[in-house]
């Protein structure tokens, strides 16, 4: 599949908004909960919601052309998910790890479109 070939997912926008909302809520509650020492048994399920919703967002965004995972946003998304997946194995360091996840997410959400869509494989995204 070339970078210009695109597949579609029915209702992708609704699914994307649903996953993004779940993800933002889960991450927000996780960070706040860990900042204020909420019981781990209450927070652990939210970690898995954050991971699953992050994977869901990445799949929906990447599905039209999986080469997009090699773009700036895709690499940051994969990095963020990888860091989130470290938490169950480094529970003692969960709060600083979550701060790193927030920083990666903020950078990815606010970097320029040129960087967000730059591909390591294909270079800058061509304008249609």
Is 34 a domain residue?
Answer: yes
- Domain range for 25: 12-116
What mean pLDDT is reported for the chain?
87
Q: What angle do CA 50, 54, 55 make, to 5 degrees?
A: 120
pLDDT score for 62: 80
pLDDT score for 127: 60
Average pLDDT over residues 15-29: 93
Average pLDDT over residues 13-26: 93
pLDDT score for 125: 73
Is 18 a domain residue?
Answer: yes
Is 6 a domain residue?
Answer: no
pLDDT score for 128: 52
User: 119: left (phi > 0), else alpha (psi -120 to 50), else beta?
Assistant: beta
pLDDT score for 63: 79
Is 121 a domain residue?
Answer: no
Residue 70: partners with Cβ closer than 8 Å, 6 or more residues away:
119, 120, 121, 122
């Amino acid at each position: 599949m070339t970078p210009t070939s695109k597949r579609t997912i029915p209702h992708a926008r609704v699914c994307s908004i649903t996953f993004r909302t779940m993800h933002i809520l889960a991450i927000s509650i996780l960070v706040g909960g860990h900042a204020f020492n909420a019981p781990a048994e209450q927070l652990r399920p939210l970690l898995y919601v954050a991971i699953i919703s992050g994977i869901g967002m990445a799949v929906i965004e990447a599905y039209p052309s999986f080469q997009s995972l090699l773009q700036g946003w895709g690499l940051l998304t994969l990095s963020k998910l990888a860091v989130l997946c470290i938490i169950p194995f480094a529970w003692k360091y969960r709060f600083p790890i979550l701060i790193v996840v927030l920083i990666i997410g903020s950078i990815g959400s606010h970097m320029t479109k040129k960087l967000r869509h730059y591909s390591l494989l294909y270079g800058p995204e061509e304008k249609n």
